Amino acid sequence: MIRFLGTLLACLVVGIAMLAQSATAQQGPLRIEITEGVIEPLPFAVPDFVSDNASAAKYGAQLSRVIAADLAGTGLFREIPAKAFISPITDFGAPIKYADWKAINAQALIAGAVTVSGSRLTVQFRVYDVFSGAELGNGLQFVGKTDGLRRMAHKVADAVYSRITGEGGYFDSRVAFVSEVGPKNDRRKRLAIMDYDGAGVQYLTDSATIVLAPRFSPSGDRLLYTSYETGFPRIFVMDVGKVKRRMLDSPEGTMSFAPRFAPNGKTVVFSLAQGGNTDLYTMGVNNGKRTRLTSAPSIETAPSFSPDGRQIVFESDRSGAQQLYIMPASGGEARRISFGKGRYGTPVWSPRGDMIAFTKQSKGRFHIGVMRIDGSEERLLTASFLDEGPSWAPNGRVIMFTRETQGASGRASLYSVDITGRNLRPVRTPDGASDPSWSPLQQ
Amino acid sequence: MKRNSEASGLQTGTKISGVAHLVLVGVAIFGGAFQSEPLPFEVHEVSMISAEQFAAMTASRQPPDIAAQPIAMNEPDQDTGTPDLTASSDPTPAQTIPEQTTRPAQDGEPATLPDQPAPEAEATDTAPVLTPPQPAVVILPQNPTVRPQPRPVDRVAPVPVAAPPPDVAPAEVETPAVNPDEGAETPQDPAEATAPEEASERIVTEAEANEEPTSLAPVRSPRPPARPVAPPATTPPATTPPATTPRTAVNDALAEAMTGGAPATSPATPAPTGPPLTGGEKDGLRVAVSKCWNVGSLSSAALQTTVVVGVSMTQDGKPETGSIRLLSSSGGPEAAAKQAFEAARRAIIRCGSKGFDLPAEKYGQWRDIEMTFNPERMRIK
């Protein structure tokens, strides 16, 4: 009997203890969900790259300046000035004093070293996540020549950009454009090429004839463009490295224009005006074999391939107004994707394949905009007297376009804008500039 | 001898007692203890008058004299004319039938209600289904005042912030400058003024910033609520008995009790103790982390990725940096999850460097935290 009572008492005590515990207990750790954050430039620091001698110190300073300009120019990063540094980096191999960089709110730190041997330049760098106290990725080293310093700096910036954002950079790329000099009624145009930031401009043609709409090949080694050299618009292809060109085959009495490479680099899609009608065609770059894609009485032009080469987006006035359409790359039925008020033109497929940039004219103003490939989520990024001719950066994050000011003395210039609509900024060129074509990343 | 002394003692006491009683009786008798207070009485003054004076006073009240003989009555006047007995009728007045009007019911007067058709009898076998009142959805018209157009700024935050003065340092909170007063008893550390950075609640493109101001007229009006519609009668779903047998349920309960209520999958995790955090305390933590969660430099793929991050906290509210770990991710590839996790980790470390404002007495509740960073709402900014 006593034994039974003892067991009963023990059970009661255990039961009460369990009840008390279950009343106050929470299932697992505390859980919260965060859905609101901030969008602001990420502060970073890039001290001058460490050098072992005075001659190399000059290059170290130049490298850090180009890298900082690249990153800050995206609008995604904000440079912390050197005068705010607490402990400048004097030894590339020394441990990082994270507390000193945290104190100035540097969230990313780029530390590097440069050595010069004759004309040979060696650049090493590391990227640190300051608040995590860890390195982002591994250290990298580039070797080149001293005259290629800017390209090496762009490559470092591309690596930093990629490690922080998770997507490819676009700094080691070039832009082909039409350089313009003179008033509107006597404007001289010539093809030019430059770094993405406007540095290192080189002219590819003279200003004897009008040239239009250069377009890079997928590998970046060739350019398509339209020239009035023969009195009619004709398509030319140019080897950028050798600056040699040749005219693509075109029937007599026709006008061919608006060319663009297919992703395979072997085919060109373009507009051909014949007998008062303009339709789309493809043509082999080497064999000249031409295929007709459209046969409507309306004007079809400004074609652009999807990155996988299966579809083509183009503009057409078949509905009575200029709108955007998508059709199979081999031709066939097209579906309209733009339905907003105004006129749409010059569509360009994003390198990512998910968006289409376009020019829109509405209420007397021109806009650069983006939309999904089904026409949804249209967003106008710019607005001015004349904006046109968008071109995608290699990573599909930035768009470069032409902006022309009003009046007889109006000047055409290049601008870039993030696809979110932020960071609208001019691209500095020595003269007027239009029709940009952004190359892929250089190899 | 002893007896004599005791007898003399008794006699002495008797004497004293007798004397005392006598004194007491005397005081009672002669001290007025048995005298009572006289009863109160009223006194009225009277005056004497003579018989003549009394007669003079009562003379005016004598009754009138009554005659001994009755007085003869006068004959009434007789009418000499014979009345005309021919029958005649008064002219019938023209009566106009008033129009039938409904008289307004007076206050307090019962009004006559028209006949109401008798309702048809309805009898259904199914019980009526009560329709819950639908909430009236009212679309409020737009504020007619001209709202300020958002300006494109570098920072996008949940709460828009006006541009601070140019000479203040950026900080999360606004604080005035402190200039130490030389005469103050308590020395003050000088501090410069701080203010939060200018922010907009969304990205404003050039096209949007240049839009013309909208009209003051409301573009929408409230839509009248729809007539409530009774939902179709539905048969209640058949309740299926739980698959577990009582025997199993008992076993499960016992197993749960033995593990202290914790999930069986994580027996190693100690159950938090102490009172749970209030909603306000959780919101405070959420807002604190949000201020440092910068998604501006994330790729599009990372902005599609939700990550769940685990972190252990010290008792002073600071995160243990080494404990921050990626628990799970969804919506994006592994590389994007890595970028999203690093942004989340930076947010926890940056804003937790001074310690989150968490109640110390509930440390057991927030010692381990799982934070889900969901950028879905940030994509449409």
Q: What is the CATH number of the domain that holds A142?
A: 3.40.50.10070
pLDDT at B128: 54
Is there a domain that residue A35 lies in? no
Of A24, A129, A382, the CB nearest to B207: A382
Is there a domain that residue A415 lies in? yes
Examine the fold and report which residue of A147, A165, A183 is the final residue of a domain before the chain moves on: A165
DSSP state of B169: E
Interchain proximity B347–A381, CB inside 8 Å: no
pLDDT at A216: 97
Does the model's ipTM exceed the 0.85 cut? Answer: no
B198-209, pLDDT tens digit by residue?
A: 888 788 888 888
Q: What is the CATH number of the domain that holds A279?
A: 2.120.10.30
pLDDT at A148: 93
Is there a domain that residue A3 lies in? no
B319-334, pLDDT tens digit by residue?
A: 999 999 999 999 989 9
B292 CB neighbours in chain A (<8 A) are 38
A220 Cα to chain B: minimum distance (Å):
24
Residues counted in chain A = 443
pLDDT-derived band at B266, boundaries 50, 70, 90: very low
Interchain proximity B293–A22, CB inside 8 Å: no
- Considering the domain architecture, whether residues A380 and A245 belong to the same structural domain is answered as yes
- Considering the domain architecture, whether residues A204 and A144 belong to the same structural domain is answered as no
- Considering the domain architecture, whether residues A155 and A202 belong to the same structural domain is answered as no
B272 CB neighbours in chain A (<8 A) are 25-26, 29-30
B279 CB neighbours in chain A (<8 A) are none
Interchain proximity B365–A131, CB inside 8 Å: no
More reliable by pLDDT, B10 or A84: A84
Residue of A nearest to B156 (CA): A39
Closest CA to B323 of A404, A82, A109, A132: A132
| Burial of A254: CB neighbours in 10 Å, binned 0-12, 13-18, 19+ | middle
Q: Which amino acid is at A403?
A: R
For B348, the domain range is 279-379
The alpha carbon of residue A134 and the mean position of all alpha carbons in its chain are separated, in whole angstroms, by 29
Distance of alpha carbon B327 from alpha carbon B373, whole angstroms: 11
pLDDT at B109: 47
Q: What is the CATH number of the domain that holds B359?
A: 3.30.1150
Going by their DSSP bridges, the two strands A188-195 and A202-203 should be labelled as: antiparallel
- Considering the domain architecture, whether residues A309 and A208 belong to the same structural domain is answered as yes
Of A18, A33, A132, the CB nearest to B374: A33
pLDDT at A63: 96
Interchain proximity A37–B207, CB inside 8 Å: no
Rg over alpha carbons for chain A, rounded to the nearest Å, is: 29
Among A71-75, A189-193, B223-227, B377-381, the minimum mean pLDDT is found in B223-227
- Considering the domain architecture, whether residues A46 and A106 belong to the same structural domain is answered as yes
pLDDT-derived band at B246, boundaries 50, 70, 90: very low
Is there a domain that residue A368 lies in? yes
Mean predicted confidence (pLDDT) in B249-261: 48
A23 CB neighbours in chain B (<8 A) are none
Mean predicted confidence (pLDDT) in B153-175: 76
Interchain proximity B376–A380, CB inside 8 Å: no
Is there a domain that residue A14 lies in? no
A76 Cα to chain B: minimum distance (Å):
5
Number of domains chain A contains: 2
B370 CB neighbours in chain A (<8 A) are 28-32
Residue of B203, B300, B309 to mutate for A, most A C-beta atoms under 10 A: B300
For A77, the domain range is 42-165
**For a pLDDT cut of 70, what percent of chain B falls above it?**
48
Is there a domain that residue B292 lies in? yes
pLDDT at B106: 47
Q: From residue B354, how far is each of A21, A363, A410, B335, B357 by CA, in Å?
A: 33, 53, 55, 30, 9
pLDDT at B232: 62
Residue of B nearest to A35 (CA): B374
CB pairs under 8 A between A and B: 197
pLDDT at B107: 47
A77 CB neighbours in chain B (<8 A) are 297
Distance of alpha carbon B343 from alpha carbon B346, whole angstroms: 5
pLDDT at A77: 96
B166 Cα to chain A: minimum distance (Å):
18
Q: From residue A208, how far is each of A30, A227, A229, A230, A246 by CA, in Å?
A: 73, 10, 8, 12, 17
A169 Cα to chain B: minimum distance (Å):
11
- Considering the domain architecture, whether residues A149 and A296 belong to the same structural domain is answered as no
B271 CB neighbours in chain A (<8 A) are 21, 25-26
- Considering the domain architecture, whether residues A184 and A308 belong to the same structural domain is answered as yes
Of A34, A369, A424, the CB nearest to B374: A34
A419 Cα to chain B: minimum distance (Å):
10
A256 Cα to chain B: minimum distance (Å):
34
Is there a domain that residue B29 lies in? no
Is there a domain that residue A20 lies in? no
pLDDT at A27: 64
Examine the fold and report which residue of A144, A165, A186 is the final residue of a domain before the chain moves on: A165
- Considering the domain architecture, whether residues A194 and A283 belong to the same structural domain is answered as yes
pLDDT at A175: 97
Is there a domain that residue B297 lies in? yes
A397 CB neighbours in chain B (<8 A) are 300
Six-digit token string for A115 = 């050595």
- Considering the domain architecture, whether residues A127 and A236 belong to the same structural domain is answered as no
Query: pLDDT in tens for each of the 443 residues of chain A?
Result: 566 666 666 655 555 545 444 444 456 889 999 999 999 999 999 999 999 888 889 999 999 999 999 999 999 999 999 999 998 899 999 999 999 999 999 999 999 999 999 899 999 999 999 998 999 999 999 999 999 999 999 999 999 999 999 899 999 999 999 999 988 888 899 999 999 999 999 999 998 899 999 999 999 999 999 999 888 999 999 999 999 999 998 888 899 999 999 999 999 999 999 988 999 999 999 998 999 999 989 999 999 999 999 999 999 999 999 999 999 999 999 999 999 899 999 999 999 999 999 999 999 999 999 999 999 999 999 999 999 999 999 999 999 999 999 987 889 999 999 999 999 999 999 999 999 999 999 88
Residue of A14, A21, A39 to mutate for B, most B C-beta atoms under 10 A: A39
A417 CB neighbours in chain B (<8 A) are 206
Six-digit token string for A305 = 């391939």
pLDDT at A79: 97
More reliable by pLDDT, A191 or B182: A191
More reliable by pLDDT, B381 or B30: B30
Say yes or no to pLDDT of B76 above 80. no
- Considering the domain architecture, whether residues A323 and A414 belong to the same structural domain is answered as yes
Number of domains chain B contains: 1
DSSP code string of A83-113: GG-SS----TTSPP-HHHHHHTT-SEEEEEE
pLDDT at A5: 63
DSSP code string of B49-78: --HHHHHHHHGGGPPPP--SSPPPPPPPPP
Six-digit token string for B343 = 């942004």
Say yes or no to pLDDT of B75 above 80. no
- Considering the domain architecture, whether residues A106 and A222 belong to the same structural domain is answered as no
Interchain proximity B206–A25, CB inside 8 Å: no
Residues counted in chain B = 381
Of A25, A37, A417, the CB nearest to B378: A37
Interchain proximity B269–A75, CB inside 8 Å: no
Interchain proximity B374–A22, CB inside 8 Å: no
Is there a domain that residue A186 lies in? yes
Is there a domain that residue B133 lies in? no
- Whole-model pTM: value is 0.71
Question: Residue for token digits 């490295």?
Answer: A241
- Considering the domain architecture, whether residues A285 and A343 belong to the same structural domain is answered as yes
A25 CB neighbours in chain B (<8 A) are 260-262, 271-273
A35 CB neighbours in chain B (<8 A) are 374-378
Distance of alpha carbon A292 from alpha carbon A80, whole angstroms: 56
Interchain proximity B296–A107, CB inside 8 Å: no
Interchain proximity A42–B297, CB inside 8 Å: yes
Six-digit token string for B169 = 């340092």
A420 CB neighbours in chain B (<8 A) are 203, 205, 381
Choose from A13-17, A18-22, B62-66, B369-373 the range with maximum mean pLDDT.
Answer: B369-373
Is there a domain that residue B343 lies in? yes
Residue of B297, B313, B348 to mutate for A, most A C-beta atoms under 10 A: B297
Q: What is the C-alpha end-to-end distance of chain B, expressed in Å?
A: 127
Of A18, A26, A78, the CB nearest to B276: A26
Is there a domain that residue A28 lies in? no
Is there a domain that residue B305 lies in? yes
Is there a domain that residue B328 lies in? yes
Residue of B nearest to A42 (CA): B297
Examine the fold and report which residue of A165, A188, A216 is the final residue of a domain before the chain moves on: A165
Interchain proximity B285–A32, CB inside 8 Å: yes
Say yes or no to pLDDT of B113 above 90. no
Closest CA to A113 of A172, A66, A170, A46: A46
Six-digit token string for B24 = 């007491």
A167 CB neighbours in chain B (<8 A) are 299-301
B378 CB neighbours in chain A (<8 A) are 35-37, 39
Residue of B202, B205, B283 to mutate for A, most A C-beta atoms under 10 A: B205
B25-48, pLDDT tens digit by residue?
A: 888 777 766 666 555 666 666 677
Distance of alpha carbon B240 from alpha carbon B258, whole angstroms: 29
Of A39, A136, A381, the CB nearest to B207: A381
Say yes or no to pLDDT of B242 above 70. no
Say yes or no to pLDDT of B57 above 90. no
